[in-house]
A and B are shown apart, each in its own frame.
Chain A
Amino acid sequence: MKKLLSRLDGLGRFAENAALIILLGGMIILAVGQIILREVFATGFIWVDPLIKLMVLWLAMVGSVAACRDDRHIRIDALSHILPDGLVKITRIVVDIFAALVCGVIAWHTYRYLQLEIEFDDRLLIDVPAWWVHVIVPVAFLLASYRFFVLVARQIITWAVGQEPEKTE
C-alpha cells in the first residue's frame, strides 16, 4: 500500500513536471518564432497569440496543482510564528480541510460550466471545441482538492505516529 502511494506520488510529480516543461518550452518557442516570422518574413499566424494566452492559463492551473504538492501556496500565516506548536498543528489541519472543500466546490461548478460548453458546442482558436482547452480548470481544482486532503492526512499521520512520514521530495 505504502509502495503504491509513493509510486502514485512519483507519477503525479512526473506528470506535473512534464506538463510544465512542455507548456513553458512551447510558449518560448511560439513567442520567439512569432517575432522571427514578423521581423524577417513580415508574416505570422493569428492563432499564436491566443494560443499563448491559453497556455498561460494552463501553466497557472498546473503550477497551482504543483504548488499544492510542494505546499507552496501563498498564505498570510501571521500567527504560526506566535502560537504554540500544538495549536499550529491543529489549525493547519483545519485550514487545509477548508481549502480542500473550497477547491472541491469550485471544481464542481466549473465542471457544470464545462457541460454547457459541450452542449452548445462552443469553439475557439481554429475550430477547436472550447471544452478541450477549458477542461483543465475543473481538473486542476479537483486535483488541488485531493492534494489538500492528502496534506491533511499526512499531518494527522505525523501527529498520531509522532514522526514525519517519509518525504517524497
Chain B
Amino acid sequence: MMLVSVILILLAVLGAPLFAIIATSAMLGYQRGEIDLMNMMLEILGIADLTFLSAIPLFTFAGYLLSESEAPKRLVRLTGAMLGWMPGGLAIVCIAACAFFTAFTGASGVTIIALGAILYPALKHDGYPDKFNLGLVTSSGSLGLLFAPSLPLILYGVVAEVSIDKLFLAGILPGLVMLVMLSGWSLWVNRANRRPVGSFSFKELGRALREAIWELPLPIVVLGGIYSGFLAVSEAAAITALYVLIVEVFIMREIKLTDLPQIIRSSMVLVGGILIILGVSMASTNYMIDAGVPEMLFGVVAGLVSSQVTFLVLLLIFLLILGAILDIFSAIVLVVPLMLPIAAGYEVDPVHLGIVFLAAMQLGYLTPPVGLNLFIASYRFEKPIMHVYSATFPFLLILMLSVILITFWPELSLWLVPEE
C-alpha cells in the first residue's frame, strides 16, 4: 500500500498527467473498498451535475479572445490616462492593468504574455531598473485572482458549494490590499525615480475612453448583472462570451474569423485539462469522504492544535507548500472538499477559507519548482529562470505579507459580504 503511494507520487513528480495519477488512486481505493470500478463513470458524469460550471468554459473563451485582440493595448492606455500622473505612475499602471486583465482572463499566464509584452519595454524606456521590471511584470501576472470574475474564484464556489456572488464580494478588499502593498513597495524602491508617465490630461483620458468604448460595458454587464440578481454567473459568462466575440471579430475586426477555431481550441484545451481533473478528483475525494478521511484528518489536526489561530497558521504553511507543487485549479478540486469539514471544525467561514486558499495559491505562481509565472516570464523575456526568480523574490515577500494579513484578518474578506 505504502509502496503504491510512493510509486504514484514518484510518477507525479516525474511528470505523469495529474488526472491519471488521481484516477489511479481513486480506482485503487475502489478496489480496496470492493466497489465496482464501473462507478468511475458516475463520478465523471458528476461534471454534468455541477451548477454554474458552464461559466468556466465561457469566461475562458472570452478571456482568450480578449488577449488575442488589441484590448490589452487599450487597457494599458486607459489605465495610463487614469493613473499615469501619479509619481512612479507606470509601475502602478502595470499593477492595476494586470490585475484587471487577470480577473477577466482567468489565471493561466496569458496576462504576462499579453500585457507584459507591452509593459516590460515601456518600464525600461521610462528608466526603471531591469531587475525591478522583470520582477514586477512576473508577479503582476497572477495579481487580480481575487477579483470577479476570475476562474479560480468560480471554481472554488462550484467545488465548495459556496455562493459565487459572495466570493466575488469577499475578494474585493483582500485583492485591493495586495495591490496597495505592491504599489507601495514599487514606489519605495523607485523613490529616486518617481517620475510620472505624464501630467493628467482630460483630452488623453477622453481619447483612451473613446478607444475602449466597446470594452467598457463589460465590467458593468458582468458585475452589475450578477450583483443586481438579474443574471446568474453562468448567464453573465454566456453574455460576456457572445459580446466579446461580436466586438472583437465583427466590430473591431481585430480577430480574423479564420483564427477563431484555433482560439477556441486553445481555450477549450485548457478547460478540458482542468475539468478532467475535476471529474476524477470527485471520484477520489468522494471515496475518501465515504471512508471517513476528513474526520480522521480532523482528529489528527485536533490533536495538534486547539485554537483557530494555530489552525490558520498550520493551514497557511500547508497551502504555501501545496501551491509550490500543484497548480491552482488542481489544488482547488483536489484539496478543498477534504479541507472544508476540517475548517468548519475550527469555525473558519467557508468564504474566508476560499479567499485564504486562493491568496496563498497565488504565491505558488511565483515559487519554484513549478511556479508557472516564472517559466512564462523566463520564456517570454528570454531570461534564465534563476534570474527571474531572484528578481521576483522581493515581490514574493510583499505578497506573502499580504497573504498573512488576509489570513488572520477574516473581517477583511467578510466585511462586504452580506449576512444571511
Chain A positions within 8 Å of B, measured between CB atoms, are 16-17, 20-21, 24, 27-28, 31-32, 34-35, 50, 52-57, 59-67, 70, 72-82, 91-92, 94-96, 98-99, 102-103, 105-106, 109-110, 112-114, 116, 134, 137
Contact = CB atoms under 8 A, between A and B. Distances in A.
Contacts of B159: none
B231 A61 contact: no
A3 B74 CA distance: 45
Contacts of B268: 20, 24, 59, 62-63, 66
A28 B261 contact: no
B48 A32 contact: no
B15 A24 contact: no
A74 B18 contact: yes
Contacts of B205: none
B41 A114 contact: yes
B37 A109 contact: yes
B271 interface: yes
A102 B370 CA distance: 24
Most B CB atoms within 10 A — which of A53, A62, A81, A91?
A53
B239 A32 contact: yes
> Per DSSP, are chain A's interface residues mostly helix, strand or loop, or mixed?
helix
B405 interface: no
A91 B329 contact: no
Contacts of A81: 369, 385
Nearest to B238: A31
Contacts of A98: 11, 16, 20
B264 A17 contact: yes
B318 to A, nearest CB: 17
A33 to B, nearest CB: 9
Contacts of A103: 20
Most B CB atoms within 10 A — which of A73, A75, A114?
A75
A21 B11 contact: no
Interface string B224-240: 00000001001101110
Chain B interface residue number, banded: 35 or more
A56 B54 contact: yes
Contacts of B54: 27, 31, 52-53, 55-56
B76 to A, nearest CB: 28
29 contacts: A24-B264, A28-B58, A28-B245, A31-B238, A35-B235, A55-B54, A56-B56, A57-B45, A59-B57, A60-B278, A64-B19, A66-B269, A70-B266, A70-B269, A73-B18, A74-B273, A74-B277, A76-B15, A76-B18, A79-B369, A95-B17, A98-B20, A102-B24, A109-B41, A112-B38, A113-B40, A113-B42, A134-B41, A134-B45
B174 to A, nearest CB: 26
B15 A60 contact: no
B325 A99 contact: no
B404 interface: no
B44 A137 contact: yes
Contact of B38 (A31, A77, A94, A113): A113
A134 B48 CA distance: 10
Given A57-B47, A59-B57, A75-B17, 7 more contacts: A74-B19, A75-B15, A79-B14, A91-B15, A94-B14, A95-B16, A95-B17
B397 interface: no
Nearest to A58: B48
B365 to A, nearest CB: 14
B23 interface: yes
A95 B1 CA distance: 20
A98 B22 CA distance: 12
